Structures are given as structure tokens and as C-alpha cells.
């Protein structure tokens, strides 16, 4: 089926003392209805800026979003704020890492759950509240009828994240963007939340864009994965292929730094060095300062994406056709 969202040449840049600096640098991807796409990388790779660009949440005073974000044929990169308000929470919804900061402490769970139904669907309060109760049950929360009358601080972190998921799913969005949705939760609760998201994904045709630094989450949830580094996609493919046959040195490092796929890791320790500050490396492969395989060419020329027959794509000179010929 045709993609629910098509991102083409997305470039998001911010005005700094050094000029307009791209943080997301010409990326392409699409997501099909019902698909779960993982976007993985360390913090500072441009994952969150990618999702905020799709949601129309890049501050216009300093940020600039260029390229195409085609949603049902409409380019959201050019959409007005008024149009984005119609889309957010309705066609495209988002859940964040820390539900406490996204829930308003002075409103009840029920009031917050029905907000988007009231705004987008113009449902009356009674009908919307009945739907809110139904959603709380769907996400596995007990005492749903009482819970709608309670306040966020009365709930545990895991319960609040379930409420956030219920809130995101209440208008049956076509795309759910989940940015590190389980990072703040302990391992058991994390597993339950991922299980819930998988179940909701299977029961609806909502596609999920799962943003994470945790390859365990990708293995658990995703069919396809994009690996981002310094604002670019450096590797893409189906999850099985990427785990069994990672090609980019960064992806290989990420996989090696996960000691056990079932264990939660907070940080990726084993790749020495840091993601370069956006705009600091003018030439060459952005991974070169950390790469054990860097060649002369890597310092001066940026690699393009090489495609393989199995759909895998890799941005690395080691897989460039002319390099492959030289080494053969």
C-alpha cells in the first residue's frame, strides 16, 4: 500500500552565531499504514528534531524546515500553524519520554483525554468522556470510571504513560510518533508499555514512528529501522537484516554496545567519542573522527547512500562501488 507519510529531502536548520546550521540534513524515508519504523541513534543525531519537524513544532523564529513532508499528499513542511493544529493530535499524534511534563497537573485525566475529541471532533462532553473511559480500559488501566476524575500526580509513572498513549490514540491517528516513550520507565513497565503499543498497532492501522537510542526497543517493536548519525541517515533496512548484517561502522558499534537485547541500557558506551556539534565538520564523513576504518577519502568527501538488493542502504565509502572494486 502507499505510504501514510513520505519525507523527501527534509532539512531542518537553526540560526546560530555561525549562520543557518542543519541539524537534520537531507533525509528521506516513508512509513506505510500500520508499519512500525524505528529511528535510532545517540542523542544529538537529529531524531527528535525530525519528529518535531513532522509535527510542525520547530520554532519559526530560529528554525527552518525545508523539503517535503507529504501527508496524504499535503506538504506539512509548508503548512500554516492553524493547519498543523488541525493535524496534531488528530491525524498525527505524539508521545514523549516524560509523561509528567506533557500532562497538565491542574486538569483531571478525563478532562485531558477528551480535549482532542472536543476540539477536533466537536464531541459533546458526555460522549467524549464515555470514549475516554473506553480508551483507559483499552490501554489496560484499572478503575477507568474513577481514573478519569483523578489528577496526574495520583498516578504512577507507568500509569501516566498509559494515559499518554490513550490520549494520543483517542482520535485514531494515522501516525503515532513515539519519542523515547519508555526511556524514563523501569524495565518491567517498559516491557508492558511496548507490549501495549504493539497490541494497539496490530489492532488499528496506526503507523508508529519509534524514536529511540535503544536497539532493544527496535528489536522488540520495529519492522524497519533508520540509523541516524549527525543529522543524516547512515543506514536503513529491515530490522532482521540490520541486526544480522549491519554494514555501517556506526551501526556495528551500536549493536556491539548492547550487551543483551533484553537488558535496558541507558547510554551507548562502547563507541568512543561524541556526535559532532552540528556544522562543526564541514567536509567528509561525519563519523570519521570516531571510525576505526576511516580512509583519506573519508576526511575530505561525504559518502552517498549505497543500495543493496535486499533494500539495505548504507552511507559509507567502504560500500561505495568504486571502493569495492578497488578492494576486490
Half-sphere exposure of 75 (CA within 13 A, CB side): 9
76: partner contacted, choices Mg ion, ligand SF4, none (Cβ within 5-8 A by kind)? none
Cα dist from 187 to 166, 190, 208, whole Å: 21, 5, 21
> Judged by CB under 6 A, does residue 275 bind ligand SF4?
no
Q: Which entry of ligand SF4, Mg ion, none binds 318, CB below 5 to 8 A by partner kind?
A: ligand SF4
Positions in 54-83 near ligand SF4 (CB under 6 A): none
Tell me if 316 contacts ligand SF4 by CB under 6 A: yes
Q: Which of residues 237-256 bind ligand SF4 (CB under 6 A)?
A: 249
Q: Give the three cell numbers for residue 175.
A: 501516525
Per CB under 6 A, the list member of 298, 306, 312, 313 interacting with ligand SF4 is: 298
Pinpoint the alpha helices (H) of the chain. Answer: 47-54, 81-87, 99-102, 109-120, 125-138, 144-147, 157-169, 187-203, 215-221, 239-244, 249-256, 296-300, 321-327
Residue 128 contact among Mg ion, ligand SF4, none, beta carbon within 5 to 8 Å by kind: none
In DSSP terms, 28 is beta-bridged to none
Q: What are the helix (H) ranges across 214-320?
A: 215-221, 239-244, 249-256, 296-300
- Which residues neighbour 85 within 8 Å (Cβ) at sequence distance 6 or greater? none
Minimum gap (Å) between residue 292 Cβ and ligand SF4: 8
48 binds, among ligand SF4, Mg ion, none (CB under 5 to 8 A by kind): Mg ion
Rg from Cα positions in the chain: 21
* Partner from ligand SF4, Mg ion, none binding residue 293, C-beta < 5-8 Å depending on class: ligand SF4
285 binds ligand SF4 (CB under 6 A): yes
Nearest to 40 by CA among 231, 239, 218, 304: 218
By CB under 5 A, the residues from 15 to 54 that bind Mg ion are 48
Residue 298 binds which entry of ligand SF4, Mg ion, none, CB below 5-8 Å type-dependent: ligand SF4
C-alpha–C-alpha distance, residues 275 and 283, integer Å? 15
3-state helix, strand, coil in the chain (%, to 5): 40, 25, 40
Residue 154: CB atoms within 10 Å: 12
Q: How far apart are CA 39 and CA 23, in angstroms?
A: 15
Residue nearest to Mg ion according to CB distances in the complex: 48
217 versus 318: smaller Cβ distance to ligand SF4: 318
The correct pick among 171, 288, 306, 312 for binding ligand SF4 (CB under 6 A) is 288
CB 288, min distance to Mg ion, A: 24
268 binds, among ligand SF4, Mg ion, none (CB under 5 to 8 A by kind): none
**Could you say whether residue 228 binds ligand SF4 (CB under 6 A)?**
no
Member of 46, 148, 303, 312 binding ligand SF4 (CB under 6 A): 303
CB of 284 to Mg ion, least distance (A): 25
Minimum CB separation of residue 279 from Mg ion in Å reads 19
**Which spans of this chain sit near ligand SF4 (rule: CB under 6 A)?**
249, 285, 287-288, 291, 293-295, 298, 303, 316-318
Contact footprint for Mg ion (CB under 5 A):
48
Amino acid at each position: 500500500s502507499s505510504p501514510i507519510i513520505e519525507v523527501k529531502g527534509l532539512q531542518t536548520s537553526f540560526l546560530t552565531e555561525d549562520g543557518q546550521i542543519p541539524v537534520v540534513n537531507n533525509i528521506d524515508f516513508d512509513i506505510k499504514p500500520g508499519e512500525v519504523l524505528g529511528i535510532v541513534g545517540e542523542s544529538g543525531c537529529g531524531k527528535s528534531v525530525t519528529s518535531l519537524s513532522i509535527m510542525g513544532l520547530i520554532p519559526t523564529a530560529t528554525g527552518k524546515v525545508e523539503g517535503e513532508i507529504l501527508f496524504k499528499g499535503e506538504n506539512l513542511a509548508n503548512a500554516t500553524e492553524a493547519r498543523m493544529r488541525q493535524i496534531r493530535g488528530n491525524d498525527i499524534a505524539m508521545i514523549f519520554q516524560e509523561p509528567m511534563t506533557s500532562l497538565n497537573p491542574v486538569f483531571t485525566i478525563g478532562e485531558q483525554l477528551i480535549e482532542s475529541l472536543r476540539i477536533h471532533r466537536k464531541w459533546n462532553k458526555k460522549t467524549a468522556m464515555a470514549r475516554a473511559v473506553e480508551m483507559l480500559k483499552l490501554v489496560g488501566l484499572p478503575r477507568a470510571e474513577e481514573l478519569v476524575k483523578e489528577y496526574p500526580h495520583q498516578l504512577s509513572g507507568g500509569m501516566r504513560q498509559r494515559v499518554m498513549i490513550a490520549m494520543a490514540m483517542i482520535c485514531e491517528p494515522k501516525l503515532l510518533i513515539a519519542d523515547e516513550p519508555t526511556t524514563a520507565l523501569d524495565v518491567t513497565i517498559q516491557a508492558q508499555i511496548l507490549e501495549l503499543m504493539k497490541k494497539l498497532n496490530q489492532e488499528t492501522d496506526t503507523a508508529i514512528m519509534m524514536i529511540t537510542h535503544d536497539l532493544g526497543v527496535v528489536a522488540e517493536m520495529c519492522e524497519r529501522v533508520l540509523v541516524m548519525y549527525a543529522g543524516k541517515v547512515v543506514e536503513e533496512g529491515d530490522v532482521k537484516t540490520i541486526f544480522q548484517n549491519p554494514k555501517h561502522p556506526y551501526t556495528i558499534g551500536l549493536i556491539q554496545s548492547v550487551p543483551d537485547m533484553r537488558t535496558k541500557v541507558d547510554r551507548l558506551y562502547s563507541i568512543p567519542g561524541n556526535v559532532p556539534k552540528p556544522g562543526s565538520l564541514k567536509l567528509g564523513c561525519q563519523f570519521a573522527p570516531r571510525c576505526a576504518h576511516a580512509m583519506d577519502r573519508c576526511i575530505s568527501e561525504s559518502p552517498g547512500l549505497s543500495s543493496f538488493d535486499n533494500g539495505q542502504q548504507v552511507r559509507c565509502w567502504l560500500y561505495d562501488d568504486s571502493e569495492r572494486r578497488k578492494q576486490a
